[in-house]
Every structure is written in C-alpha cells, then in structure tokens.
Amino acid sequence: MLEIAPARDLGTILQERTDADASLAPVADLVRRIADTARQMAEVIALGRLAGTEAAVGHLNADGDVQKALDIFANNLFVNVLREGPVAAILSEELEEPLQLDPDAPLAVAIDPLDGSSNIDANVSIGTIFSILPALPEAESARAHFTQLGRNQLAAGFVIYGPQCSLVLAFPERTSIFILNRRKGIFHEAVEAVRIPRQSSEYAINTSNYRHWAPSVRTFVDDCVKGTEGPLGRDHNMRWIASLVAEAYRILARGGVFLYPGDLRQGYSSGRLRLIYEANPIAFIIEQAEGSATDTVRRILDIVPADMHVRTPFVFGSANAVHLITRYHTDPQFSAEHSPLFARRGLIRS
C-alpha cells in the first residue's frame, strides 16, 4: 500500500487561524461543517448510478435549470448542516429565495451545492461552491445580506469531486488546496499558498458559440489561434471542460484563462454564470492566488448584485491574460487595428 505523505490537516490549520484571530471562529466553524458534508457528498457521487441520484426529476430550479435528484440531495444535505451553524441566512442555487435563519448570527452563506450537475452522467468532475459573507445587522430581509459586494467575503471555496476530492479554500491574501485522505476521512493540506502564473498560453471557452460572440471576443480567440504568426506572438492551447470547478482547479494548478462571455443568444446577453454563488467566490479564490477576474471589463468583486440569481459574463485566470481581454473590449486601437491594413499589429504593449 502506498504511503501518504505527512501533511497538516484542515482542522489544525483552522484552529491556528482562530488562535491568531478569535473573530474567525464562526467562519472556521462553517468551513469545518462544509468540509464534513463534502466528504459525505464525495462518497455518494463516487457511487454514480448505484446511488440512484443521477436522474432528472423534471423540476426547474430558481435559475431555470433542470434539477437532478443529486441536485436536490446536495441542497438538502448542505442546507441542513448550515442551519446548525452561526448563519443568519442561506442563498442556494436550488432555492428561489434565501432562507432566513438566526437574525443574530454573524454570517451569511451563498452556495451552489452541486455545480456542473449536467456532467454527472458523463463522469466529469463536478463540485460545490460556497461564499461566506458577514451578516448585516441592519438587514431588513434575508435578501439584503447578499446584495453586498463580493470583495466583502470573509472566505470562499469550492470542493471538486474528481479523481482527487479537493477543497480549495481562500481567506484574504491566501488560497490553499486540501485533498481528502479517503482512508481517514480527513482533508490534508496539499498546497499552502497557490500562485497563479501571470502569463498564460492556455484559454478555455466554448467555441461552438463563436458565431454568437461580440467582435472583441472573436478577435481575441482568433489571435490565440494564430499563435506565433499572430499579434500575441505565442502558440496557445484551448481547453473546455464545461465544469466551472474543473476549469478553476486547472487554472489554479498551472495558469490559463477562462472565458464565459455574454453573447447574442436569447437569455445569454449577461452570460450564464451566477454572480453571488458562482462568480464571486471563484473570483475571490482567484484573486487571493494572484490572478484576476472580471466580467470582461469590470472587476467581479466590485459589482453590486441586482438580484439573488443575477448572471454575469465571467473571465478569470492569469492576470496578464485577463487584463489583455479587457483591452480587447475597451481599447479602440485593438478593434481599429484588426482591419487588413494592420494585419501585423502588435498587441503586447507596456
């Protein structure tokens, strides 16, 4: 049997944080609860069809997506666990309205209990995404807690149920990765502080929607495809898994950039990813790892949520690549130079 390398466990690290700052105790408590629940989810997901939770149930969630039995199972499991924690309100993808819990509790939690459930049948990695916010003492309703800017998050993370069950956890100024030791049922630290490379030669986008994109997005992808013969001066590889947690984990592991822009299809003008419980926590995680995240132009963590399930275009990953994509959207010279007269233009400028 293979020996498992010694590493600190999640509980020890959370205790060290609370010893250093007692105000983090409620956050640490929630992270422990989420990690314990994720371990249970990992066991169910690993059973696949044997668990009897893959079939669609015919209902639509609050966002209009078809729910699968595993979506409902995951939502009930996480919500019931969070009810027992220091939580004032919970917002879930599977619920139309937030749940009001203890009005005196210090935290609010936004969660996508099972991200990427459309991939269940194909055995592609899926996950759980969560955002921990300070509860607002003056909040008049449960909704009010979730209209905060994403930069107010106290912690954020996601669990990816893949070949390894990993927990990615971000506090201000640090993103760490923990891997579940299935023998002991404990998450151990694998990467203490993730650092995303600033440069990138990998991009992830669903090119089947090429004809629906804005010219700025098409131009960027065209220039990536041109490789060393184009204005970017380097060859690029394209990746597309169609699983947000899997795309994010790959970028944390080796850099790259992910794009899910708005496009001309009906219902896609603002993209498809939800701001509060998908884009905000992923953006927080990416920024603490020295990456960047925007809606192609604006910093994600500076966007005021207009509604509980509002969508947003989403670009994140290696900082230089994300900033370059913003320039494709905002710098008139980029679109002007794309005419044949400027076929040899150079876009990498100081």
CA–CA dist 34, 43 (Å, integer): 14
CATH of 202-342, one of 3.10.20.600, 3.40.50.300, 3.40.190.80, 3.40.50.720: 3.40.190.80
53-62, 75-84, 319-328, 333-342: least confidently modelled range: 333-342
Give me the chain's average pLDDT, please: 91
Consecutive H or E run containing 325: helix 319-330
Relative to beta strand 273-274, strand 311-312 is: antiparallel
Does residue 230 register a pLDDT over 70? yes
CA distances from residue 191 to 7, 9, 268, 273, 341 in whole angstroms, order as listed: 10, 12, 36, 27, 48
Report DSSP letters for 233-274, one per residue: -S--EEE--S-HHHHHHHHHHH--EEEE---SSTT-TT-SEE
Residue 121 pLDDT? 81
Q: Which of 22, 26, 35 is nearest to 177 (CA)?
A: 35
| pLDDT range class, residue 342, cuts 50, 70, 90 | very low
Domain ranges of the chain: 10-191, 202-342
10-191 against 202-342: fold identical: no
Number of helices (H) and strands (E) in the chain: give both, helices first. 8, 17
Q: What angle do CA 95, 268, 141 make, to 5 degrees?
A: 30
Cβ-Cβ contacts under 8 Å for 270 (sequence gap 6 or more): 262, 310, 311, 312, 313
pLDDT digits (tens, 9 = 90+) for 281-317: 999 999 999 999 999 999 999 999 999 999 999 999 9
Rounded average pLDDT over 178-186:
95
CATH H-level, domain 10-191: superfamily: Fructose-1,6-Bisphosphatase, subunit A, domain 1 (3.30.540.10)
CA–CA dist 248, 258 (Å, integer): 8
Note the pTM of the prediction, 2 decimals. 0.93
CA–CA dist 226, 205 (Å, integer): 16
